[in-house]
Amino acid sequence: MDEVWSAVIWGLIPTIVVAGLFAFVIRSILRMDRTERKLYAQVEAEERSKRGLPPRDETAGRSAKR
């Protein structure tokens, strides 16, 4: 019976490792995208202020259901 549980554990380890790596990569991509969007908005705000334009309307283009 110990051989069965040993085989089950060795069979699950690769799946768990791959799932962990997948979650790490997806989390990193989402965090990178969020950071990039924040920096882009900051640069855009600086450029708008340099040109004397009003701040960007954050609600423009969004649906009213949110």
Every domain of the chain and the residues it spans: 1-49
Helices (H), the chain: 2-50
Q: Would the pLDDT of 62 be above 70?
A: no
Percent of the chain clearing pLDDT 90 (strictly above): 74
Question: In this structure, are residues 54 and 62 in contact, taking their beta carbons and an 8 Å threshold?
Answer: no
DSSP 35: H
Q: What is the pLDDT of residue 58?
A: 73
Tell me: the pLDDT tens digits for 18-45? 999 999 999 999 999 999 999 999 999 9
